[in-house]
Amino acid sequence: MSILIYAESSEGKFKKVALELASYAKKVADSMGTSVTAVTINAGNTEELSKYGVSKVLNVSNDKLNNFNAKAYADVIKQAAEKESAKVIVLSSTTDSKYLSPLVAVNLNAGFASNVVALPESTSPFQVKRTAFSNKAFNVTEISTDVKVIGLAKNSFGLVEDSVSLAEEVFSPSLNDVDFGVKVENVEKVTGKVTIADAEIVVSAGRGMKGPENWGMIEELASVLGAATACSKPVSDIGWRPHSEHVGQTGKPVASNLYIAVGISGAIQHIAGINASKVKVVINTDAEAPFFKVADYGIVGDAFDVVPKLIEKLKTF
């Protein structure tokens, strides 16, 4: 009986969340006297996982799985869990894993807890701490089913190196043709930009920027920091920025290490989606803007004055 993780990869490289899952699962496994197995799908060099405590990898390699397919992937994870007699399965909270986790839980007749942010409070009974109400509250949830599925919130645990020796195995689960009735034929990727999902730092801007012609400084600040760019809802609604950059309750969630908000008022719907970010910096002319109440650092000032100075200073580091 081991703990199983699904180690997500992209273009043959493990996503950071895969290493975070491994770190988390290793600690849970230690407390339960067991080990961590990872199932990978068309991943490259799996050695990296062993640095974070994974002692066995089930490598699935199949061209039919080149593009994400929730039903087929969930079936693969189910078969891996059954093969390993895994009682705890840990997935991430990426968009893909948010699709997968409930399917995996249904497939395995398991209880599922999403948005888990810490190691289990107890493993017998099995109780986990989760966020609720857009990260405004926590609750402790007990999963009483024999098999348990956990969705770990991104960036909630971090990476913890704990090298172990690795056993690799080729795993060839059966695939169900019905799962491929609808399939993605082609994926066009935006290249050269850090995506909001993967970003450690996000530079986000709102209506305070006055117009799309002023986004050059936001992009430059993001580029200097190696950050992704994001925006408030009205900014994408009026077409200043693409909808893919809209963050908040009705947009993409952000759980970055650093979130810089420029000219964003901090409406409750915006905060709901970015609250999980570790450090929040706000630049706003209005000292009464609600964003300052949740900010770790705030600059009361004009973005057109502050941002260029910030870029200039950061370039000297």
Residues that bind ligand FAD (CB under 6 A): 206-208, 232-235, 248-251, 263-265, 267, 269-270, 273, 283-286, 289, 302-304
User: From the CB of 112, what's the least distance to ligand FAD, in Å?
Assistant: 25
Distance CA 52, CA 73 (A): 23
Could you check whether the bond before residue 120 is cis, i.e. omega within 30 degrees of 0? no
Dihedral sign for Cα atoms in the order 292, 297, 299, 303:
negative
Distance CA 64, CA 69 (A): 9
User: From the CB of 200, what's the least distance to ligand FAD, in Å?
Assistant: 21
User: From the CB of 256, what's the least distance to ligand FAD, in Å?
Assistant: 16
Among 40, 10, 14, 38, CA closest to 24: 38
User: From the CB of 212, what's the least distance to ligand FAD, in Å?
Assistant: 13
For ligand FAD, the closer of residues 15 and 246 by Cβ is 246
For ligand FAD, the closer of residues 91 and 282 by Cβ is 282
Alpha-carbon 33 to chain mean position: 28
User: From the CB of 246, what's the least distance to ligand FAD, in Å?
Assistant: 6
Alpha helices in the chain (DSSP H): 16-32, 47-50, 70-84, 95-107, 216-225, 233-237, 268-274, 291-294, 303-315
* Contacting residues for 185 by C-beta, under 8 A, at least 6 apart: none
User: From the CB of 153, what's the least distance to ligand FAD, in Å?
Assistant: 18
User: From the CB of 253, what's the least distance to ligand FAD, in Å?
Assistant: 9
User: From the CB of 182, what's the least distance to ligand FAD, in Å?
Assistant: 28
Contact 105, 144 (CB under 8 A): no
Please classify residue 304 by burial: count the beta carbons closer than 10 Å to its beta carbon, then call 0-12 exposed, 13-18 middle and 19+ buried.
Answer: middle
For ligand FAD, the closer of residues 74 and 283 by Cβ is 283
Q: How many CA atoms lie within 13 A of 148 on its CB side?
A: 24
User: From the CB of 56, what's the least distance to ligand FAD, in Å?
Assistant: 41
For ligand FAD, the closer of residues 143 and 261 by Cβ is 261
For ligand FAD, the closer of residues 42 and 214 by Cβ is 214
Dihedral sign for Cα atoms in the order 245, 249, 250, 254:
positive
Dihedral sign for Cα atoms in the order 61, 62, 67, 71:
negative
| C-alpha triplet 184, 188, 193: angle, nearest 5° | 135
For ligand FAD, the closer of residues 151 and 248 by Cβ is 248
For ligand FAD, the closer of residues 178 and 287 by Cβ is 287
For ligand FAD, the closer of residues 158 and 308 by Cβ is 308
Torsion angle (degrees, nearest 10) of CA 65, 67, 69, 75? 20
For ligand FAD, the closer of residues 211 and 226 by Cβ is 211
